[in-house]
Amino acid sequence: MNPTRRMAPLLAPSLLAADFGNLQSETERLAGSAADWLHFDVMDGRFVPNISFGIPVLQAVHRHAKQPIDVHLMIEEPQHYLSAFRDAGAANITVHYEACTHLHRVVQQIKQLGCRAGVALNPHTPVSVLTDIAADLDLVLIMSVNPGFGGQAFIPNTLRKVAALKELLVDCGSEALIEIDGGVTLDNAQALVDAGADALVAGSFVFSSPDPVATLAQMREQLTVSAERELN
C-alpha cells in the first residue's frame, strides 16, 4: 500500500437526487453502502427558488436510515425549526450564513440540541466571514453550485476557497469539518480532498449512475486523504 495514502473522506449522498417515490428502498439500499452520512436538502422556496421536502419526510427517512442524517437547511429563519429537525432525526444541522442575522445564537442553539452545527456559504460569500465563529463550528459547508437544484456544474473557484477555509480553520484553532456540496464527481473530488475537504456531498453523480451503491464504493476506493494532511 502506498504509505502516503490513508483514510478516505466522508461521503454524503444527497437524497435530493434519489427516487422520491421509493424513499424507503432508496434509504435502505444505502444502509450497507460506503455512505457515511445521508445528505438531506431542505428548500423553502424563499431562500432558494425551489421547494424540496421537510420535517415529515425527514422523519420517514430516519425510520429506515442506518447512517446519520446531514440536514442542509436552505431556508430563511431556520431558528424556528431547529428542534423540529432534531426531533425528526437530524444528526448534523447546517444553516446558511446568508440566512442568519444572529448566526452565533443559531449555532449555539443547534449545539444545545445535541446536533453537529454547520454553516453553509453560497459561492459568492468569502470564507473570511467565518473568522469569529469558526471555533464554534463542527462543520462548514462550501456550496460549489448556487443552492436550489441538483445536477448543476461545479464552480471551479471552490478549490481556492476550500484551501483558504482550511487555512482559516487552522489559524482559528477550529476543528470544523469542511464539506463540499454541488457538482461533485470523481473528476473533481480528489482535488477537493487535497485542498482540504473532509466530506463530499454527491447527488446526481451517485443517483444518476446505473448502480449508486457501486458508485459510492468506487468513490470510497479511489479517494484518499494523504498522510501529510492527516497529520495536520
Instruction: For residue 74, give the nearest of 39, 38, 37, 114 by alpha carbon.
Output: 39
Q: Is 181 a catalytic residue?
A: yes
Check the annotation: does 41 bind a ligand: yes
Check the annotation: does 104 bind a ligand: no
Counting residues that bind ligand DX5 (by CB under 6 A) gives 22
| Interface with ligand DX5, residue 148, by CB under 6 A | yes
Catalytic residue among 36, 70, 136, 181: 181
| Interface with Zn ion, residue 181, by CB under 5 A | yes
| Interface with ligand DX5, residue 183, by CB under 6 A | yes
Contact 225, 4 (CB under 8 A): no
**β-strands 10-13, 199-202 pairing:** parallel
| Interface with ligand DX5, residue 96, by CB under 6 A | no
Sheet of strand 38-43: strand arrangement = 10-13, 199-202, 177-181, 139-143, 116-121, 90-96, 69-74, 38-43
- Which of 6, 59, 151, 163 is close enough to bind ligand DX5 by CB under 6 A? 151
Which residues are CB-contacts of 13 (< 8 A; sequence separation ≥ 6)? 30, 33, 35, 38, 39, 201, 202, 203, 206, 207, 212, 216
Contact residues toward ligand DX5 (CB under 6 A) are 14, 16-17, 39, 41, 72, 145, 147-152, 181-184, 201-205
Q: Which residues are annotated as a binding site?
A: 14, 39, 41, 72, 148-151, 181-183, 203-204
Q: Which residues are annotated as a binding site for substrate?
A: 14, 72, 148-151, 181-183, 203-204
